[in-house]
Structure 1
Amino acid sequence: MNIPLAYMVETFCTLAAIPSPSGNTEKAIAWVAGELQRLGVSCVRTNKGALLATLPGATDKRCRLLTAHVDTLGAMVKEIKGNGRLKLTAIGGFPWNAVEGEHCQIETASGRIYSGTILTTKASVHVYGREPQKLERTDEVMEVRIDEKVSGKADVRALGIEVGDFVSFDPRVTVTESGFIKSRHLDDKAGVAILLGVLKQVKQQQLLLPYTTYFLFSNNEEIGYGGNAGIPANTVEYVAVDMGAIGEGQTTDEYCVSICAKDSSGPYHYGLRKQLVQLAEQHRLRYRVDIYPHYGSDASAALRAGYDVVHGLIGPGIDASHAHERTHQESFANTGKLILAYLMAPMIAGQGGVA
């Protein structure tokens, strides 16, 4: 089973470099829309600013939907401090220590971009001694040091920076010779890149899918409601393509496609999960079934919104989620191959799905 792995990796690297914290995703969505156009896939914008692409299949009476999200973690200016630094409020769920010392950029309402660094208020060991080690990283002690000559509020405001401006984190994308991909925002720009790679393969091979399939590129997943609207009424199966969580007690690794059995929202559809496992085994893919204890997806958000769909969750195994993440190209390949196999397979029979 062929997939365009090099294209997927290149697409991820390009997309990761486009800042898109939840609430400010227009540039990333526009880039994806342009890429879909280049691939010959039609799409429309939803009212929430997401993209819904359509691949016609042999029937459109019962359809599938796959989703991945372009939005990422980020921050917003909460306060301009008297010393000319910026106090932040987080966008999405992450501990402040995960971005301490990270380069960032501030985007003003007029579109001006300024660079900075995220630090604690007591960053200097030569001044504060051991105190920085003991400091609890909270909103109150984190700030942005702006790379401009500023010493007070007036100087900062003269730059056009105001409360409510978005702050994004430098992804620092690296692809190693050994095949690892190190970057922020693999969650979930990896999923977006993989879906685009699958679309590229389907179009190049002129494959006829058994069912019309929608691809939703959502833009508010990190704040809980990216994929809970804009779902066509004839959708029967809904699969989120998002990161597989790695850590102590997990089965997922950086080389597999992770198939989620349960997350904080509860179990995913058992029949669909079993079908995904069967497809992975049939195609001799490296896969793991896992439970993600502190996790929610666009698929679970759709169920909470009341959609009557069979739901599933798969994705590449990603280490250090919501920090500086890492995966391997093999996980891209295994995930893409499982998606392609799923798209060509019949819908599940029995409860919640009719073949």
Structure 2
Amino acid sequence: MKDLPINREYLLQTLRSLLAIPSPSGMTDAVVAFVCKELETLGVPYELTRRGAIRADFKGSRSSPDRAIVAHLDTLGAMVKGFWNNGRPQVVPIGTWSARFAEGARCLVHTDDGTAYRGSILPRKASGHTFNEEIDTQPVAWTNLELRLDEPLTDEAGCRALGIHVGDTISIDPMPEFMDNGFLVSRHLDDKAGVAAMLAAARAICESDAKLPMDCHLLFTIAEEVGVGASTVLHGDVAELVSIDNGTIAPGQYTCEYGVTVAMQDSSGPFDRHLTRRLLELCGKYDIEHSRDVFRYYRSDAASALEAGNDIRTALVCFALDASHGYERSHEDSLIALARLLALYMQSKPLFARDKTALGPLGDLPPTRSDLLPASED
């Protein structure tokens, strides 16, 4: 096993390209096509589900059981709900995010014929010169927002004449800024930064011609932000699943801002004890800056995979993210640390030979220490 060098420029350029492609849940074809092209360039075979989730395949020395790494291509967004009396569209969120972060967002409205119109999402009382203190006292709610289109419109009929209808998808401008000191500021780093790190790890594996002990599938899902995630892209041979998502930088959290974070539990429950410890061991052995954290209000592709009935070991590894689901910030060192860990994990041996079958004997599972068991009452 080797700690493979990660191409920083490739990772960052891939992230720039991903951010430039609008991909709110339900409108992911373009970003799927981009990732497929990247996989073809790397020489990695892949397949698509009917809806467009990607399963790329790295061959190992054995094909069953195998492992998978998953990140999601879809982002938050919004949708036209209806029209206010002034003709401006009403909006509802795609995914879970606060109207507070929608206020002032620049965006595109995507119509049925492929035309995209520019606009801004604003609170209904947006002019301080008119509403004075009511600007600050109006509620922060999606029902208090409107879409100001940059077109000469005064009524609903004018909007409809442009081809704008109820149900049109609204993509939010990412507004990326990649700073010289390594900070990356943009909307939609969740989870396009994770996708970029996964592709960078894949490139490192391909360029090194590293030998993998078991097949490893790279999964790119398209509906994680609306709760579907990895529920449909797995197959029965996968025994280990590592999900990639953001670790939140906030008071009370222990996420590593310049390294990788191994999550021990999220709102869906604890992750597999053995798989998380394997990832922590790899971080320690290869001197990858890391931390452990627990997330209360959070779930990832791993949860949807389990809820779909897959009996697999799951773990969650995170890049650092400040202001998640808002105007987010990460650091390129955190993405490099994540990519290094992923490349090492792909090269690591299977956790347990016993996992080859869904039902079987105790096998090589670690024994329970008898001195830690409660004393018998007999």
Question: Would the TM-score normalized by the shorter structure come out above 0.5?
Answer: yes
- Counterpart of 2:40 in structure 1 is 37
1:69 aligns with 2:63: no
1:149 aligns with 2:180: no
Map 1:128-207 → 2, pairs under 5 A: 128-207=131-210
1:230 pairs with one of 223, 230, 233: 233
Corresponding residue SS for 1:242? strand
Bigger drift between 40-49 and 286-295 goes to 40-49
Map 1:1-355 → 2, pairs under 5 A: 1=3, 2-349=5-352
What amino acid does structure 2 have at the position aligned with 1:328?
H
**In structure 1, distance between residues paired with 2:306 and 2:68:** 13
CA contact (8 A) 2:221 2:233 kept: no
Tell me by how many angstroms 1:216 deviates.
0.8
What amino acid does structure 2 have at the position aligned with 1:93?
T
CA contact (8 A) 1:244 1:317 kept: yes
Q: Deviations over 1:189-225 (max 9, x none)?
A: 0111111111111111111211111111000000011
> Paired residues, what number?
355
CA contact (8 A) 1:254 1:326 kept: no
What amino acid does structure 1 have at the position aligned with 2:348?
A
**In structure 2, distance between residues paired with 1:305 and 1:178:** 42
TM-score by length of 2: 0.92
What amino acid does structure 2 have at the position aligned with 1:286?
E
Q: What is the root-mean-square deviation of aligned Cα atoms in Å?
A: 1.3
Corresponding residue SS for 1:243? strand
From the superposition, tell whether residues 154 and 270 of structure 1 become closer, same or farther in structure 2 (CA, over 3 Å): same
**In structure 2, distance between residues paired with 1:58 and 1:325:** 40
* Identical pairs, percent: 37
**In structure 2, distance between residues paired with 1:342 and 1:238:** 11
Corresponding residue SS for 1:200? helix
From the superposition, tell whether residues 87 and 58 of structure 1 become closer, same or farther in structure 2 (CA, over 3 Å): same
**In structure 1, distance between residues paired with 2:350 and 2:58:** 16
**In structure 1, distance between residues paired with 2:286 and 2:12:** 22
**In structure 2, distance between residues paired with 1:253 and 1:103:** 31
CA contact (8 A) 1:64 1:212 kept: yes
Q: Deviations over 1:245-271 (max 9, x none)?
A: 221100113211011000000000011
Tell me by how many angstroms 1:105 deviates.
0.5
CA contact (8 A) 1:309 1:352 kept: no
What amino acid does structure 1 have at the position aligned with 2:102?
V
TM-score by length of 1: 0.98
- Runs of 4+ in structure 1 deviating by more than 6 angstroms, as ranges, are 350-355
Tell me by how many angstroms 1:81 deviates.
2.4
**In structure 1, distance between residues paired with 2:270 and 2:204:** 31
Corresponding residue SS for 1:181? strand
**In structure 1, distance between residues paired with 2:199 and 2:308:** 26
**In structure 1, distance between residues paired with 2:233 and 2:287:** 35
From the superposition, tell whether residues 351 and 313 of structure 1 become closer, same or farther in structure 2 (CA, over 3 Å): farther
**In structure 2, distance between residues paired with 1:99 and 1:12:** 22
**In structure 2, distance between residues paired with 1:352 and 1:88:** 47
Tell me by how many angstroms 1:180 deviates.
0.5
Tell me by how many angstroms 1:352 deviates.
6.2
